[in-house]
Amino acid sequence: MPWRVGPERRKAGERPDPYRVWLSEVMLQQTTVAAVRDPFRRFTERWPDVTALAAAEDGEVMAEWAGLGYYARARNLLKCARAVAASGGRFPETREALLPLPGIGRYTAAAVAAIAFDEPATVVDGNVERVLARLFAVRAPLPAARPELFDLAARITPAVRPGDFAQAMMDLGATICTPRNPACGLCPLRPACAARADGIAADLPLKAPKPEKPTRRGIAFVGLRKDGAVLLERRPDRGLLGGMLGWPGSDWAETEPVSAPPAAGAWQEIPGEVRHTFTHFHLRLSVMTARLPLDTRPRRGDFLPRAAFRPASMPTVMRKVHDLASAAFAED
């Protein structure tokens, strides 16, 4: 992993870069390693240290974040970078000192403190929760079991090489102690695993039933000016997809959406719909398109020249709208 410094490099005197550790941990929240590798490389090439990131334009950072989801993380990433840069460009070295920084919670503070600064902080992510639930045969369901699992993690966190221990536990959960079909025969903790001894390793951790997600509906308006410029708007900083560039649209609600086009024009609904699932709800969007005159004055949003438009810089749901609309424009 491009953000890791392995034990051999550590022995040679190389230390983990707190900036890279922090950036990777923020990116990896609710996201897979495979999805993070390329964005991490792009970020560190464009902004190689926290001072460079702090000086970046908000829109450029949000565009690079596109596809990683949970866009509040990107806004907090900038706030945190600017707070660190303002205090001299060095990250605090303890969990307690890291916690007040924007966007840094208990897990991220512990991970940065342990991995970058060798503080014996207790690091527990979803993979580690699974390892602990099986190792100690914790039968209480998640999320109620989390305090117990954290206490168990604290008991076994070593004072020596706590960062290597934390990363080893995360890797164990990601590669061997997996959610389905754990490879118990390969596990170095097999002799001590209470769940394996009881024959229930694959059943743990138990999880409380999740409530059914509601379905919300909305309308997205894709306006293409005759010179090729596209009509876009930047979403408010606060809220879902905050600060991201996207198509103007209606509110997303469980009731029937109200059509309020962002500009005067011959808007037409195109066949099909966009479906997307967020953490707390499913979304279905109908898409309306229009070719707009050169003198159009939009009520919402602004035109972006075609040459400057990059669909890849938009959130996934907005890219889905683009793909559906592009097919419709190609046919007319």
Residue with tokens 């990433």: 77
What's the pLDDT score for residue 164? 92
For the cut 70, the answer to whether the pLDDT of residue 332 exceeds it is no
d(CA 111, CA 94): 10
What's the pLDDT score for residue 260? 94
When pLDDT is averaged across residues 76-81 and rounded to a whole number, the result is 95
What's the pLDDT score for residue 26? 94
Identify the sign of the CA torsion 160, 162, 164, 165: positive
**Residues β-bridged to residue 274:** 285
Greater model confidence, 330 or 275? 275
What's the pLDDT score for residue 331? 58
State pLDDT tens for residues 216-239: 999 999 999 999 999 999 888 777
State pLDDT tens for residues 187-222: 999 999 999 999 999 999 999 988 899 999 999 999
Q: Which residues are catalytic?
A: 25
State pLDDT tens for residues 43-72: 999 999 999 999 999 989 988 888 887 788
Cis before 205 (ω within 30) = yes
For the cut 90, the answer to whether the pLDDT of residue 166 exceeds it is yes
What's the pLDDT score for residue 244? 84
When pLDDT is averaged across residues 146-156 and rounded to a whole number, the result is 97
Band the pLDDT of 170: cuts 50, 70, 90: very high
